[in-house]
A and B are shown apart, each in its own frame.
Chain A
Amino acid sequence: EAGVTQSPTHLIKTRGQQATLRCSPISGHTSVYWYQQALGLGLQFLLWYDEGEERNRGNFPPRFSGRQFPNYSSELNVNALELEDSALYLCASSSGQGNQPQHFGDGTRLSIL
């Protein structure tokens, strides 16, 4: 069974640009989660999508947005990039039912120059 896959592995952008990160969940999983792991800030919840709808959002500005497609894959878009957006962005998926673990991809390393 294929795990959660994320692309690209690395992404280099400059301030003010826009970044798009992609995630494919484990087959059969309907929920996709996005987390940011920035140096010194730990793992922070960004967004949760389930059945194509945004279900919950962390404490991030509106320039962080995303969507979930009918095949349950997801995109995270970050507009007007700032230096502090440099981080490892992790995607996870789960079956969406309570008490089920989230399974993570290897992440996209976003570097802002």
Chain B
Amino acid sequence: SQQGEEDPQALSIQEGENATMNCSYKTSINNLQWYRQNSGRGLVHLILIRSNEREKHSGRLRVTLDTSKKSSSLLITASRAADTASYFCATGGGNKLTFGTGTQLKVEL
């Protein structure tokens, strides 16, 4: 079963624009992670945010977490064509990960 839903399901933007995708989850968490998946390949870990953190940055990525609303957002700034991929949020960690449904991001030149 999927822990959460991601919104939007698909997003198409121009290179240089910012992309924001949201994730909602159902149960209380210790941390939330974001992953990227290029077409048909494995997942690349992007960032982990702990439940006691509200915001975290990594390069062009900014993740926020609102545990009261059980939601998280991933912002990619100054997007590039190479950012075209599916993005998943996941909860869990040391045990198993439960993934959201994913957002398909397309960055056009």
Contacts and interface: CB of A to CB of B under 8 A. Distances in A.
Partners in one complex: yes
Interface of A: 4, 6, 31, 33, 35, 42-43, 45, 48, 55-56, 58-59, 88, 90, 92, 94, 96-107, 109
A42 B101 contact: yes
B99 A101 contact: no
Given A99-B50, A103-B45, A109 B93 contact: no
Contacts, number: 65
Contact of B94 (A43, A100, A105): A100
Interface stretch (B36-44, B63-71, B73-81): B36-44
A35 B48 CA distance: 19
A19 to B, nearest CB: 18
Q: Which 6 A-B pairs have the closest CB atoms?
A: A43-B99, A104-B42, A106-B42, A104-B43, A45-B96, A98-B94
Given A43-B97, A56-B95, 11 more contacts: A33-B97, A42-B2, A43-B90, A43-B99, A45-B96, A45-B97, A56-B96, A92-B97, A98-B93, A99-B94, A104-B35
Interface residues of B, number: 25
Interface of B: 1-2, 30-31, 33, 35, 40-45, 48, 50, 88, 90, 93-99, 101-102
A107 B31 CA distance: 25
Given A90-B43, A102-B45, A103-B45, A97 B98 contact: no
A101 B31 CA distance: 10
